Amino acid sequence: MLDLLISTLTQGLIYALISFGVYITYSILDFPDLGVDGTFPLGAAVTAVLLVKGVNPWLTLPIAMSVGALAGLFTGFVHVKLGVRNLLAGIITMTALFSVNLQIAGSNLTVDRGTDTIFTSAPVMAVLGDMSLMGRKLVISFLLVLIIKLALDAYFKTKSGLLLRAVGDNPDLVTSLAQDRGLVKLLGLVISNALVALGGCVVVHEQRSFSATMGTGQLVYGLAAVIIGISLMNFYTASPLARGLRERKGLRFLASPAGTTSVILGSILYKLCVQMALSAGLPANMMKLVTAALFLLVLVCSGRKGEEIIHA
């Protein structure tokens, strides 16, 4: 039972990386990027091949991110420079990447037990060698997510980050600031897809396998995590507890948590829900159905029925 909880928690953390990416496109840029379903396995495919070839496992992280960034650049180029609607631009990337991923890694690729992953690499063993593999996975995933979260939080407070938030909020304002809104969107897509590919990369380290179909439903997962997280956070910030905390000087930071924190919590909660449904006896083949059903439930309960996606 404890093992299951730890592994679910680890999964929730790893998938938070993907959810960060979705948070940037969906929540900040107001851009429903379906390319996620292609970029996630892209990061995974690249990582699997590199690991099999014996590349340093830590090196696969920046490489996967760069490849993901390129995919985001492509979606952005199709949308911004060729003028294709955002939904369609993502679909084009997703479809194209399916073949690209097959070319890179074939339909399935397994990383054998003898190959080091980030969870078994020498520097990690030196520090966390006494821990079980499961514990190491949890700690490393947590640290990774924490680093990315802090980096994103810091970025959103920069001039560039503020402009990114502005472009999703009011693109005309960005134009009136004499800035090219297309380039700002492009930048957002690059960052988002780099994070999604990083998620795919870490998943391969964790499960030691790649399959060409592993991207299906990842956008829905990310969306669900983001919407659960943000809805809960809105609920929380309006609660008397948060209002009370806002009154206290030292505790004020607890009253309005960052969007990235909400996304991490959303991701963990959503994994937990799916895991509970599976533990209750649902066959693994039903996983995507459960994912979709839960997503629908979240949308209806949160009152956000995806209007942003439809009109976009």
Partner 1 sequence: MLELRDVTKIYNPGTVTEQRLFQDFSLTVEEGQFVAIVGSNGSGKTSLLNIICGSIPIEGGDVLVDGKSIAKLKDFRRYANMGRVYQNPSAGTCPNLTMLENLSLADNKGKPFHLGRAVDRRRIDGYREQLRSLGLGLEEKLNVKMGALSGGQRQAVALLMATMTPLRFLILDEHTAALDPKTAEIIMVLTDKVVREKKLTAVMVTHNLRYAVEYGDRILMMNQGKVVLDRAGAEKQATSMDNILSMFNKISMECGS
Pure H helices in 170-286: 171-176, 181-207, 218-237, 240-247, 252-255, 259-279
Q: Considering only residues 7, 84, 165, 277, which one is a binding residue for partner 1 as defined by CB under 8 A?
A: 165
Q: Which of 14, 16, 6 is nearest to 132 (CA)?
A: 6
Whether 26 contacts 223, CB under 8 Å: yes
Per DSSP, what are the bridge partners of residue 110? 209
Q: Shortest gap between Cβ of 25 and partner 1 (angstroms)?
A: 16
**If binding is defined by CB under 8 A, does position 163 make contact with partner 1?**
yes
Q: Shortest gap between Cβ of 157 and partner 1 (angstroms)?
A: 6
Per DSSP, what are the bridge partners of residue 109? 210
Whether 225 contacts 16, CB under 8 Å: yes
Nearer to partner 1, 46 or 194 (CB): 194
- Which residues, numbered 166-225, are part of the site for partner 1 (CB under 8 A)? 166, 169-170, 172-181
Q: Which stretch binds partner 1 (CB under 8 A): 50-58, 97-105, 152-160, 228-236?
A: 152-160
Nearer to partner 1, 31 or 221 (CB): 31
φ/ψ of 129, rounded to 5, equals -55, -30
Burial label for 1, CB within 10 Å (0-12, 13-18, 19+), is exposed
Cα→Cα distances 220→26, 37, 311, Å: 11, 9, 18
Tell me how many residues contact partner 1 (CB under 8 A): 22
> Side chain identity at 185, as an amino acid letter?
K
| Per-residue binding letters, 99-138, with partner 1 (x by CB under 8 A) | ----------------------------------------
Q: Shortest gap between Cβ of 109 and partner 1 (angstroms)?
A: 37
| Per-residue binding letters, 228-267, with partner 1 (x by CB under 8 A) | ----------------------------------------
Q: Shortest gap between Cβ of 154 and partner 1 (angstroms)?
A: 9
Q: List contacts with partner 1 (CB under 8 A).
A: 155, 157-163, 165-166, 169-170, 172-181
